[in-house]
Chains A and B, each alone.
Chain A
């Protein structure tokens, strides 16, 4: 790649020679940028690089062509060292039209490479992107290396033999672009060829045309390099990024939505329960429903309900009948489910509620990420309604968090909220496939025998868990419901002393979940550091990178990443009190900060970003700097 490709990272703690590259593909929402990115990701993973991706697409399915709000982008950061974020600044931007250039070019690192399809830079498209003059001609892109290619024409030429119509032929542009990108980073085309053949198995002409476009893009790179053709100042060279060191094992790429779904299936198997999943279509949570709907052979029943409330209440009904009830949504849908969560808390039935967070409030930013449902997860129900909350930090972690959520739900007879977000749901990363035999089993046992004395459906074990009794069990008929329960009997009971006791039991049962949690560990640094950066969820990557770099630079800084939001790990208070200063970067206005202050009376300072975009490493690094000076 061009000489200036290496990211300038003065504090980069990576081994000598390790490097990474950030590439962003941007085009119209109909240009197939997500597919291009996805295939580039697969090829990159197969080349042994570590990677992280960030798909960023509009809420509109097919926004009017060429408009600024219709731009869809896919960013990938890959390298020969550990990669934990999708990258702060692209080193390479491939812009398929003026709108894509306009909305993305400012993010590109100065000196980075901008490849633009000049065939799309006619007056009409320039007008739609509100360009008064052609940026490819007027010198306004001088701080980047600019490479103008008529990708549209080159694609049309490449697919000419297949006799496609103009529109269909131009649809192959993304494969031409992918071919060029694969050449630039010495990636193998074969997996993409195989994928095209299977995707268009019924349309062999389309498959062949796409493969021709892919090969043409690749060939273009080779030829241009040989001829030393430096169009418009950008130099087309290719560049190999070596494989990243990785633990031995078998790997695949996985998105958060996929890994979370797999974790739920694994959890149900470990609990030895059939799974019932109730869902209602909502972005970005629907992908979980889609994944699970195909897994019937694993004892999975999926139910697309009439609304969010039916989705959760059907799941509660299934749990009552002895299945593992699961529901999933995003913020607005989770709000609708609130009353039913209270019912699951009151009736003490196991349930997993997955919240793929997005920008709020109300409809908010459906396709953008945020962490602003933490209050809703911990506090968002009527009455004293405690519920365990777990937050995944990455696609890989989502698998294990899903298993953990299932474990807590069945071992404590409680609903559990599992938080992920739009970024994790859509982002992909390499995943070391776990050996299922090493996963700890937690088989459920139902109450099946009539006790000697009276049947007490609300009697408890040492964990304060009540028995799970399936309807259909002979002789164990009993009634449950949302009205306050009498201690042990579960009968309707409004008495003041009883309500006091039952409220305390519900609280203590959930606080007791902490007994089953490991101690809070440090993700970086030591207890007693001058500064601790505390995070949760998908901010793990940028925080960890920023802290590790500051640490490598000799700064006294630590990183605490909290996975169990409620109850919190038992040693967390003591650990937090050991630091001189605490900052809490969150993609909200300070929700974990509030909980930490409330629980431990520590002076946790908020660092907030609510732009619908993840934190960059540089942003966290700047805050660390500020807090240490």
Chain B
């Protein structure tokens, strides 16, 4: 996000007059509401906010935000956003994308946006399926996913969005769940981070991949299955009865039991959002053996791409006069007069 003057708005100011066209019950509705609810809290200015999307169900999102919006082409939102932000670094840019859009057709752009560290928020709606094209398996679908294009089950291993992002050089990686009340906190943290903020949001496609995240998203078992990470707090879950520790022999995370709330005795580690090594372990944790890590997994800003480009442009231009006539006349010239050429 940018340093900007905070302005006062309400949720209504962020809603458009357009009819929302997602399937009834789609997780996208919850995410849309969470964003519209969060924007006033951020003090954001609708006229300086741009939502840029690719193609897919999630990418219809900009039409429903009363901001500037650009619904682009499949996979290319990060590249469009790069041009927007380089042309006007003052804009607050949000990229809305999906698992197919960001990791399949647009995987290359996602990688380069993150490594360059363009200042923007990337919201990847992961539903592990191609919804808008009627249910083919996606790059995040689990092995064995049955779909119209994989009637005998998919054979390829899924991509892990957060591991991909961190591997690509992201300086902010977070996870949220569409209907989870904490999604707003994740959005705020992402917006507060200066640089590319990558957020994976588990989004329920109720038509083609219903409840695929139920094992960890279900409310009644959430305490056992979700680890909510908070900077400076111990990595505890299951009502404080379990936690994560680092096995210094194997250099791997392990789940440990915590007795009587004495997490220190159990060796539970404290979450440090700037610890890149631990972040790599958190994004690699396999659900089942481990809880699903949610919240801000990693947050350690460094200079943004557009700021560095602007700084270099200014430094290179410093002291030079943009004299077009002089530019055209550069190099060795000669003058022809009525009498002939002379140097």
Q: Which residues of A contact B (CB under 8 A)?
A: 42, 45-48, 191, 243, 246-253, 262, 265-266, 269, 274, 276, 278, 295-299, 301, 303, 305-307, 309-310, 313-323, 325, 339-340, 342-343, 347, 433-436, 470-483, 491-492
Please, which residues of chain B bring their CB within 8 A of the CB of A319?
83, 87
Stretch among B69-77, B151-159, B269-277, B286-294 lining the A interface? B69-77
**B16 — which chain A residues lie within 8 A by C-beta?**
479
> Which among B60-68, B121-129, B226-234, B243-251 touches the partner chain?
B60-68
User: Is B309 an interface residue when CB atoms closer than 8 A count as contact?
Assistant: yes
Which chain B positions have C-beta within 8 A of A339? 73
List 13 additional A-B contacts (Cβ < 8 Å) besides A471-B88, A472-B88, A479-B70: A251-B334, A269-B324, A276-B86, A297-B322, A313-B76, A313-B80, A317-B85, A318-B86, A321-B83, A322-B88, A340-B76, A435-B325, A477-B47
- Chain B residues positioned under 8 Å from A434 (CB to CB): 328
Are A482 and B328 in touch, CB under 8 angstroms? no
> Using Cβ atoms and an 8 Å threshold, which residues of chain A touch B85?
317, 321
* Complex Cα spacing A471 to B112, Å: 24
Instruction: Give chain A nearest CB distance to B109 CB in angstroms.
Output: 6
Given contacts A297-B320, A303-B86, A479-B63, contact A46 B332 (CB under 8 A): yes
Q: Which residues of B contact A262 (CB under 8 A)?
A: 327-328
The answer, yes or no, to whether B333 is at the interface (CB within 8 Å) is yes
Chain B residue with Cβ nearest A252 = B333
Q: How far is the CB of B45 from chain A (nearest CB, A)?
A: 8
A residues near B63, Cβ cutoff 8 Å: 479, 481, 492
- Docked complex: B288-334 residues within 8 A CB-CB of A: 309, 312-314, 316-317, 320-322, 324-325, 327-334
- Given A301-B313, A303-B82, A322-B87, verify A248-B338 contact (CB < 8 Å): yes
Listed by A's residue number, 6 A-B pairs whose Cβ atoms lie within 8 Å are A297-B316, A301-B313, A309-B109, A313-B76, A321-B91, A482-B71
Closest chain-A Cβ to B7's Cβ sits at a distance in Å of: 10
A477–B83 touching, CB < 8 Å: no
Which B residues are closer than 8 A to A by beta carbons? 16, 18, 46-48, 50, 52, 62-63, 66-73, 76, 78-88, 90-91, 108-109, 111-112, 309, 312-314, 316-317, 320-322, 324-325, 327-338, 340-341, 343
> If the complex has contacts A248-B336, A297-B321, A303-B82, are A476 and B88 also in contact, measured as CB distance less than 8 A?
no
Contacts A276-B86, A318-B86 given; indicate if A310 touches B327 (C-beta within 8 A).
Answer: no
CA distance A299 to B85 in the complex (A): 15
In the assembled complex, the CB of B155 is this many whole angstroms from the nearest CB of chain A, namely 28
- List, in ascending order, chain B residues with CB within 8 A of A436's CB: 324-325, 328
Check A296 against B313 for contact (C-beta < 8 Å): yes
Known A-B contacts A314-B79, A320-B80; A478 and B336 likewise in contact (beta carbons under 8 Å): no
Task: For A317, give its contact among B81, B111, B309, B328 (CB under 8 Å).
Answer: B81
Closest-by-CB residue of A relative to B90 is A472
Give Cα A340 to B78, complex, Å: 13
Q: A250 touches which one: B66, B90, B111, B329 (CB < 8 A)? A: B329
> Given the interface contacts A269-B324, A306-B112, A321-B88, does A433 sit within 8 Å of B333 by beta carbon?
yes
Residue of B nearest to A314 (CB): B83
Q: Give the complex CA separation of A282 and B50 in angstroms.
A: 32
Question: Distance in Å from the Cβ of B228 to the closest Cβ of chain A?
Answer: 34
A243 and B88 contact, Cβ closer than 8 Å, known pairs A313-B80, A436-B324: no
Contacting residues, chain A, for B91 (C-beta < 8 A):
321, 471-472
Taking each of A191, A313, A322, A473, which has the highest tally of chain B beta carbons within 10 Å of its own beta carbon? A313
B82 touches A314 (CB 8 A): yes
Q: Are B83 and A313 in contact (CB under 8 A)?
A: yes
B320 CB contacts on chain A under 8 angstroms: 297
Q: Is the CB of B48 within 8 A of A472?
A: yes
Whether the pair A310, B112 counts as a contact (CB closer than 8 A) is yes
Q: Of the candidates A45, A340, A478, which one forms a contact with B68 in the assembled complex, judged by CB atoms under 8 Å apart?
A: A478
A306 adjacent to B83 (CB under 8 Å): no
Most chain A Cβ neighbours within 10 Å, of B80, B317, B337 = B80
Contact partner, B87, options A269, A313, A318, A342, Cβ 8 Å:
A318
A317 touches B69 (CB 8 A): no
In angstroms, Cα B110 to Cα A174, docked, is 48
- Find chain B residues with CB under 8 A from A269 CB: 322, 324
- Find out whether the CB atom of B112 lies under 8 angstroms from the CB atom of A301: no
User: What are the 3 A-B residue pairs with the smallest beta carbon separation, nearest first?
Assistant: A317-B83, A481-B71, A48-B341
Residues on B with C-beta less than 8 A from A492 are 18, 63
* With A343-B73, A483-B71 as contacts: A472 and B47 at CB distance below 8 Å: yes
- In the complex, the chain B residue whose C-beta lies closest to that of A45 is B334
A191-B84 Cα distance, complex, nearest whole Å: 45
Chain A: which residue is nearest B16 at the CB level? A479
**A252 x B332 contact (CB < 8 A):** yes
- Could you tell me if B84 and A471 are in contact, using CB atoms closer than 8 angstroms? yes
Within 8 Å CB of A299, what residues of B? Answer: 322
Chain B residues positioned under 8 Å from A303 (CB to CB): 82-83, 86, 309
Residue of A nearest to B324 (CB): A436
Report how far A45 CA is from B91 CA in the complex, Å.
Answer: 49
Q: How far is the CA of A478 from the CA of B68 in the complex (A)?
A: 5
**A46 cross-chain contacts in B, Cβ below 8 A:** 332, 334, 341, 343
Q: Do B329 and A297 touch (CB < 8 A)?
A: no
CA distance A481 to B65 in the complex (A): 14
Q: Is the CB of A309 within 8 A of B328?
A: no
Chain A positions within 8 Å of B112 at CB level: 305-306, 310
Would you call B316 and A296 a contact (CB within 8 A)? yes
CA distance A476 to B68 in the complex (A): 8
Nearest chain A CB to B331 CB, angstrom units: 5
Given contacts A306-B112, A477-B68, contact A320 B83 (CB under 8 A): yes
Known: A471-B50, A473-B47. A479 touches B71 (CB 8 A): yes
Q: How far is the CA of A546 from the CA of B66 in the complex (A)?
A: 62
What is the distance, in angstroms, from A446's C-beta to the closest C-beta of chain B? 12
The minimal Cβ–Cβ distance linking A532 to chain B, given in whole angstroms, is 33
Separation in Å of the A205 CB from the closest CB of chain B?
A: 25
Knowing A298-B322, A298-B327, A472-B88, the reply to whether A480 touches B70 (Cβ < 8 A) is: yes
A47 nearest in chain B by CB position? B341
Give the distance to chain A from B136, nearest Cβ to Cβ, in Å.
20
A480-B69 contact, Cβ under 8 Å, with A249-B335, A262-B328: yes
With known contacts A46-B343, A314-B86, A472-B88, A247–B321 Cβ distance under 8 A: no
**Cβ-neighbour of B76 out of A310, A322, A470 (below 8 A):** A310
Q: If A434-B328, A481-B71, A482-B73 touch, does A306 touch B108 (CB 8 Å cutoff)?
A: yes
Choice from B321, B327, B331, B332 contacting A295 with Cβ under 8 Å:
B327
Instruction: Evaluate whether A251 and B70 lie within 8 angstroms (CB atoms) in the complex, with A298-B327, A310-B109, A318-B83 already known.
Output: no
